Structure 1
Amino acid sequence: MNKQRMSFGNLTINQRLFVLIIVFIGLPFFLLGSFWYQSSTEAIEKFAVDTNKRIIEQTNVSLDSYINNLENSTYPFIHNPQIQQFLSAQPLTPYQYFQLAKKVEDDLFAQMIYGRSDIIGISLVASNKRQITDYEQAPGLLNMTDIRKRNLSYLSRMDQLSDFQILGLSKVGPTPSLTIARKLYDNSSFLYKGLLVVDLNLQQIGAICTNDSLGSFNVWIMGSEGQIIYHPDSSLIGTEVEESLLRRLESRSSSSFFRHQDPASPAEKMVIHEQSRMAGWTVVADLPLSSLIGNLITQRNYSLAAAAVLIGISLALVGGFSLSLTRPLVMLQKLMARVEKGDFVLPAKTHSFRNNEMRAVFHSFYRMTDELKRLIREVHTSQLKERELIIKQKESALRSMQSHINPHFLYNSLEIINSYAIADNHMEISRMTRALAHMFRYNISHAGSIVLLRDEIAHIQAYLELQQARFRKLEVELDVDERFVTRVQAVRLTLQPIVENVFIHGYRGRKPRYIGISARAESSCFVIVIRDEGNGMPPEKLARIQRALQSAVYPGGDLHAEEPQGEATSGIGLMNVHERLALTFGSGYGLQLIHSAPDEGTIFEIRLPYTADEEASACTN
């Protein structure tokens, strides 16, 4: 404990206050936020279970109503005279059998099929080996021999069936179907002598599952033997439910639990299931957990962000208060350390403190340093002048050598590279070398700052050729009328900083894909438009840059007063380009940021004057 007290006592005032804020503000916020997150998550999950469980129950009711409707539609077959004649052992001539089958199909089958799109086919099979089938609604061609064999297999285990029973999934041709059966008995002997077999498609069952869930999550049906009766993914229909899930579904007739559907995927799902009372099926719903608590995650993030802002404000306030206490002492300590090292060039006496004693200490300190500086000023000044003279001489010599030697060495080297490239038929390297040489000549040239637009266009073409070699999928669209390039004035290196800004900032974080340079002639100026399809700017940043560009045209204004830190482009920079154009040609010319939006790109306009023989009055803004 003593060691802890000693270590805390050795901290500065700022550090102590920071520790106190973390312990008494940050930690309580964290604990309360964790508790809130846990409790609200549980409440959301419970609400989601209750809400969606009612949907599953409604789906079960709809399925039971659908099965009950099917069962009721088979009642007319039980006591119908034609059915009794079909079940009887009385022999029939082929013509009588044909008439009986025609009568059954027209009266009974048609009555049941009429108005229903879910029935694929109907079969009557009797113990006297008679069968009547109607599968005209089935898609494609069917092998009726297979269907008749299947019906006989159902008839062979008729004693094991209830009066009305769902037999399960089967296939009618390539179509999966749900087969139901109604046992038929002879009125004279009251013995079961036949079956009514109905094959249904799964569209109606799928519609029930989709309508009740509104398509917001997957609802599927498992049969009593663990087989999937219906699933939105048709490839899963007829497959067996995985063993681990089957055990949990069979453990209780109605419950909910969480599971990972795919062991390789971290996505967790809530499973709600309810057993059908009439069909014996289990209706299952898979609900992605992210859809249940997605809003909660957003609220949690907002809450954490608000807590972080509050903590930041608290730290800023307390830090500012402690800084007002410790700043004079720390400042005086630094000044004394500089004097100890022989540095007498101190900041001006601009300090204002509320504490009178601290002001007196600083005044005494400055009087002492002023006296010391007076004694050594002459010697120090002479030494500085001598050093400055030596440095200027060396810099002048270096600039002279660079201006005479480096360009010639560079151009000769590039020409040698170009010659080797042409000799080896590497024309792409040759083209890039010529473009690079053109750029260096243009950049290093000591000609005047005012050039023709033709020179700027040639320079930017060389620059874009190098960029296209770097970014193979970059599309460059250059549309400038050749009639104007010799009649429009520009300032050297006007276009490159804007285009370079596109690659550095406009396509930051992704590959450049498009840049367009076009031009149009107006009555009083010539306008060059540079556009890209990059990241764009948020509205606040766009407004900030536009204000800076507008304020730069007023006389006496600071061009960079509103330019935010870090927003300058490479090279000269956007603001410097605008300043050079405005100072060279007047306030009506320069750079304008016309449009920019996130993920929509940015559009710049550069306004330039015509040559002296053209009308050169300033453009109106």
Structure 2
Amino acid sequence: MNIQGVSTGNLTINQRLFVLIILFIGLPFFLLGSFWYQSSTEAIEQFAAGANKRIIEQTNVSLDSYISNLENSTYPFIHNPQIQQFLSAAQLTPYAYFQLAKKVEDDLFAQMIYGRSDIIGISLVAENKRQITDYESAPGLLDMSEIRKRNRSYQAQLDQFNDFQIIGLSRVGNTPALTVARKLYDNSSFLYKGLLIVDLNLKQLGAICSNDSLGGFDVWIMGKDGQMIYHPDPSRVGTPVEPGLLTRIQNRDSSFFRHQDTVSGTEKMVLHERSQITGWTVVADLPLNNLIGGLITQRNYSLAAAAVLMIIALALVGGFSLSLTRPLSMLQKLMARVERGDFVLPTNVNRFRNNEMTAVFHSFYSMTGELKRLIREVQDSQLKERELMIKQKESELRSMQSHINPHFLYNSLEIINSYAIADDHMEISRMTRALAHMFRYNIGHAGSVVPLREEMTHVQYYLDLQSARFRRLRIDMNLNERDLNRVNAVRLTLQPIVENVFIHGYRGKKPSYLGINSRAEANYFAIIIRDKGIGMTAETLWQIRQILQTREKPGEGMQPNDGEETTSGIGLLNVHQRLQLTFGDEYGLQLVESVPLEGTIFEIRLPYRTSEEGHHVPDHVDR
């Protein structure tokens, strides 16, 4: 062997391996090191930017939501009678004006300010120079004449404003404030004649921007005019953004860049994202050393250690590397076969004379055999468990249905119905027909899938009987008739939930209300059942939700305290399990809400019928 004129014929295998390592591993490694160093640095920056960019976008979404909620809170002012009187009344006596102002402050201003710590004050300004102001929440002493003067200047710019206008930063006393305005128009002339002006402190903006997930970034907000609307440093609020930085932010070719800070002299990474709703730009900056300095140092140490360990390891294993290559290659192929699910392996592993590798092969074969056995046991166990559960449910239903002789019941009910009709007792006839329908429906196969219309018809008959029993019961059923034929249900699943309302929801009191409504979603159809009964305690609510979530009966993982609520939970669980066994885990029963002495809300999620059944997913979704 000859490498660039150097004879290697007298070199040992270890020496030859050393030369090969130097020429084909070490040299390329160190030559490419500097290039990889630069590439990895850029990759780290890209990763950091990408990770934090999502948080910046979420911050922007939160700001948009904050402004949108604020805008929504101004809608009650548009058509309010007091506001219309304030805008359009030609003349008001001082007392009438005082009464009107007090009513606006008590009814509208108080409602908007209630529960909000971010509102400093509210002003209502009309073109007839009238003003109603409320700045009781503002800190310190205020010169209200300055505020009214400012409000009049905003009123003069009314035609330049949008319906809802973010005016920008102003000062209320010594407090920086974000000012927004809502244009108000006269309902009779449809002309804009007033402004609702709201002054907000910057605490909520600060809370949105102070996201710990950003890992040390300073987050601030820039307005359309390049002014800092919010900054963690209060002294910089309201100041213009540095021109060089402003130019790069406004250049939307890149969402992040490096920037040399002229004040601190440090190089920073800057991320920015502009909102299409507010026009604001959320900016985050962090000194570059804080972001990647530690990672670069750690990476350099790791690379150096890896290089040294690689050379040492290759030098040590060079003498017997060939003896390991072939058995390891074969073992790798066998592992790939096992990974693909092929557990039938060759048996000629004893041809390797390396005792250690032979032991490894025997261990691998033992592990593969055990893995194959365990997989088969798990599959058999799951299959048997599912079959047993289905058979158990079917057995329970058959046992329940077998207690009734349907022909005897039908004949008896028909006789009762005939006597009732003959004696003109139509209420008894109606109840008898309802009871006959329920018996006829109950003896059907309890696991069969039926259109939702059949289940709702069964529930309606049941409610007819309950209405005859409880005369003051009010039933509010609001369902879209078109939906009843395009949704699947399992026979005898809705009536037990409704019956649960009478047994447990109104335990100890007479039923007064039952509501059954629906909601169409993209992937499921929801039936909402609501009562105004005794409700549940927080502990009972948690226990029943756990039963539905874990699908475990009490005693299999939890111990509810209330025996009757436990019975209710088991009945609900049976319905929940039947729905999920038939349609899948994404459907079933949910306990939405329950408040003691106020009532309970259940939601049943059902699938839409497939095209083979004559229907498909909805062409609209109720929102």
TM-score (norm 1): 0.45
TM-score (norm 2): 0.45
